Amino acid sequence: MMMKTHWISFGIVCAAMAQADAKNLMDYFQPMEPQGPLVSEGIFGTPEVFPRDSLNGLEDSNVENWVYWDGRIVKDDAGKYHLYASRWDQKYSHSQGWHEGSKAVHSVSDNVMGPYKDTGLAWPHWQEGKGHNVIGLRMHDGRYAMVCSGITYGEVFTSDNPDGPWELLGKIQVDENGFSRNLALLGLGEGERERLSNVSLILRPDGRYMIVPRSTCTMISDNGILGPYKIMHDRVYRKYPDLPQSKNEDPTVWYSGGMYHIVYNNWPSKTAYHFTSADGINDWTYRGVAFKKDAMPFRYTDGTVNDWSFIERPMAFVEDGHVTHFTFSVIDVKKGKDKGGDKHGSKILVVPFDGEAFDRDMEKLVADEME
């Protein structure tokens, strides 16, 4: 039987050589300090995720009402942490819930690790609170913003207060800028059938807004949070043909250590990849595997490890110029096995990250490449 020869692209070889002595992003995740006792009774889950901290992040530990997904943390001026996320009724299976019943919610905690208290729907007055791919951020003028996509077009809601009330500012607008419109919008037809998906949006240090959607292109707005956002380039992984070229999703984007970072997830392989760019537009460089489900260290300070079935929707929380934590949407079984009304579910997990060491090492790596 003939064996296939797998050729490694020159780009990946160069990246691998440059990082021979470097760490991957996954190496900077830190053990989780439990916010309460690690428990196995009276909470949803499987033996693989027991014992665990039901007070970490945002969850309905008994799945009596809700399951949670998405989410990004925003810190307010008083020092409280707000986790903007999506939830649906536990009566739905996972596959039903995310597109049939997903609602945008606000939650708050005095501790970045949680527990976060669900304070209710963010915009019950608009489409009964409908929302998915929910994230939060601070705007250039200091106001708070929530963004949703996936099951809606790509709306922005704003408030002077991190607790709301939230009012619809408008829909994100896209300028193709000579690129394919499908890089920004899911191609389901023209007009109202089009929508953004997996939007990750940040305020850049230069005051412009930047979106990375599902495709991993970057889009820049010089005219406020609604845009129009110009598509600046193709998918960041396109010039690395040995990386998966399809079924990629869930990008997160952030700025730290003088450079822009994108991490996105390839869901069939349960592997996430890391790219960097000096300006967030040009020369996106592959930096290796960001994390991989089978090697992801969801480890507590006492050594206990939880093995969640799916790890998705990574989002970076940046404070004082460095990533200090990541949030993840995690589920204890395969999505098709999470049925309505059962004792399986999903939650939003918060994991510490040594962003200072990460940025220091990345800066050195880039400086060495330029010599």
Strand-strand pairing, 174-175 and 229-231 = parallel
- pLDDT digits over 349-366, tens only? 999 999 999 999 999 999
Within 27-113, residue ranges assigned H as helices are 94-96
Strands (DSSP E) along the chain, which ranges? 66-75, 81-89, 103-109, 117-121, 135-138, 144-148, 155-159, 167-171, 174-175, 200-203, 209-212, 219-221, 229-231, 248-256, 259-266, 271-277, 285-292, 310-319, 322-331, 346-352
pLDDT digits (tens, 9 = 90+) for 23-82: 899 999 999 999 999 999 999 999 999 999 999 999 999 999 999 999 999 999 999 999
In order along its 371 residues, the chain shows pLDDT tens digits of 333 333 334 344 444 444 445 689 999 999 999 999 999 999 999 999 999 999 999 999 999 999 999 999 999 999 999 999 999 999 999 999 998 999 999 999 999 999 999 999 999 999 999 999 999 999 999 999 999 999 999 999 999 999 999 999 999 999 999 999 999 998 655 556 789 999 999 999 999 999 999 999 999 999 999 999 999 999 999 999 999 999 999 999 999 999 999 999 999 999 999 999 999 999 999 999 999 998 887 999 999 999 999 999 999 999 999 999 999 999 999 999 999 999 999 999 999 999 999 999 999 999 999 88
Reduced to 3 states (helix: H, G, I; strand: E, B; else coil), residue 169 is: strand
So what's the pLDDT on residue 192?
Answer: 60
Query: pLDDT at position 191, please?
Result: 56
Q: How far apart are CA 86 and CA 68, in angstroms?
A: 6
pLDDT recorded at residue 189: 55
Q: How high is the pLDDT of residue 4?
A: 34
Question: What's CA 280's distance to the chain center, in Å?
Answer: 17
| Residue type, position 337, single letter | K
Q: Which residues contact 133 (CB under 8 A, 6 or more apart)?
A: 70, 86, 147, 148, 149, 150, 151, 197, 198, 199
Cα angle for residues 264, 272, 111 (degrees, 5° grid): 80
The pLDDT value given to residue 13: 42
